[in-house]
């Protein structure tokens, strides 16, 4: 039985203020949630506050190209916002960190409005696929008979980059990618930019490795979350749900808290909400996690909601 070591609390000399606000303001690094749901989009008044779009998060910092985390259905409204704001008038380019190719993380791409005109572009960094290059595999499901148009028919330029366990730079951002436990090739990411650190692990399934104890945290995951200002982590199941869906590739809210606490992170954003969890259920799960013993080792726990953002601001240390 494998077990992880003690908690990590590096970066003790680095202080970053984390505040939440409706989308609009800008700090050193803004983390904007455009889609927070897992598995499939959902709609209706029961999901109004937290939102029904699937995974899409935008990281922006002044003077740098944006980073987009995943291409779920949330990227559609994100694209509409960019066009209405005039952000595409001078040519829009973003870099996408794609965790994996399940539908809820990719199906928004052909509806991303900036791709409908020339002069725009995306560079997509995603996990190496055993069936071929990322672009080849992606093109198999974005095209007939599954979809009426192909990637090549988009007016904008879309470039794919096969990514494994690696450390690389995108502009002023330092990116670390590591494989995480899920069904199929899946990456988690760590982004360091403007003195701030965000870890993104939207799909993480302890049950996908039956030899691991339920509380085991792989070294790669600790690397990604080590001392992070914000950890955005899979929080799809209750303990009871996990027992009947153990091999489905997701984890409990308890495990999300465990990961963030053991890694010495500051703020945990519960993410990838189950499509059967309506607003009152997410509220209940948030209160439950805040009362866990390990929650005391974190500065804050929040439930990510569509249309809000976190502002990370580097503070001067005396």
Token digits for 135?
A: 């672009």
What are the residue boundaries of the structural domains of the chain, listed by start?
15-315
Helix, strand or coil for residue 223? helix
| pLDDT at position 90 over 90 | no
The whole-angstrom separation of Cα 171 and Cα 149 is: 31
Which residues are registered as beta bridge partners of 225? none
Query: Which class is domain 15-315?
Result: alpha beta
Burial of 12 (0-12, 13-18, 19+ CB in 10 A): exposed
Structure pTM? 0.92
Q: Label residue 165 left, alpha or beta by phi (over 0 means left) and psi (-120 to 50 means alpha).
A: beta
**From the CB of residue 149, how many other CB atoms can be counted at a distance below 10 Å?**
11
| pLDDT at position 4 over 70 | no
The DSSP secondary structure of 268-285, one letter per residue, reads EEEESB-TT--HHHHHHH
Average pLDDT over residues 128-146: 92
| pLDDT at position 27 over 80 | no
What tens digit of pLDDT does each residue of 280-301 get? 999 999 999 999 999 999 999 9
Which residues are registered as beta bridge partners of 122? 94, 158
What tens digit of pLDDT does each residue of 41-55 get? 999 999 999 999 999
Token digits for 309?
A: 């953002």
């Amino acid at each position: 039985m494998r077990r992880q070591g003690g908690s990590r609390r590096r970066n003790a000399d680095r202080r970053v203020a984390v505040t939440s606000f409706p989308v609009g303001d800008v700090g050193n690094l803004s983390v904007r949630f455009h889609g927070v749901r897992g598995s499939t989009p959902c709609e209706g008044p029961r999901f109004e506050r937290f939102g029904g779009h699937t995974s899409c998060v935008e990281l922006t910092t002044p003077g740098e190209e944006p980073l987009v985390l995943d291409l779920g259905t949330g990227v559609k409204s994100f694209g509409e916002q960019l066009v209405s704001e005039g952000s595409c008038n001078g040519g829009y380019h973003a870099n996408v960190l794609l965790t994996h190719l399940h539908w809820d993380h990719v199906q928004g791409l052909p509806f991303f409005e900036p791709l409908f005109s020339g002069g725009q572009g995306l560079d997509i960094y995603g996990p190496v696929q055993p069936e071929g290059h990322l672009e080849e595999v992606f093109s198999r499901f974005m095209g007939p008979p599954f979809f009426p148009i192909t990637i090549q028919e988009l007016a904008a330029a879309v470039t794919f980059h096969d990514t494994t366990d690696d450390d690389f730079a995108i502009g002023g951002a330092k990116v670390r990618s590591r494989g995480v436990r899920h069904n199929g090739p899946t990456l988690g990411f760590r982004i360091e930019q403007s003195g701030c650190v965000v870890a993104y692990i939207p799909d993480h399934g302890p049950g996908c490795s039956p030899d691991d104890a339920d509380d085991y945290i792989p070294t790669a995951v600790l690397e990604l979350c080590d001392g992070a200002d914000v950890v955005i982590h899979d929080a799809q199941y209750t303990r009871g749900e996990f027992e009947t869906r153990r091999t489905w590739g997701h984890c409990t809210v308890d495990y999300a808290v465990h990961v963030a606490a053991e890694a010495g992170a500051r703020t945990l954003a519960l993410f990838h909400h189950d499509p059967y969890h309506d607003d009152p259920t997410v509220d209940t799960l948030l209160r439950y996690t805040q009362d866990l013993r390990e929650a005391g080792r974190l500065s804050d726990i929040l439930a990510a909601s569509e249309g809000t953002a976190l502002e990370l601001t580097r503070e001067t240390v005396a």
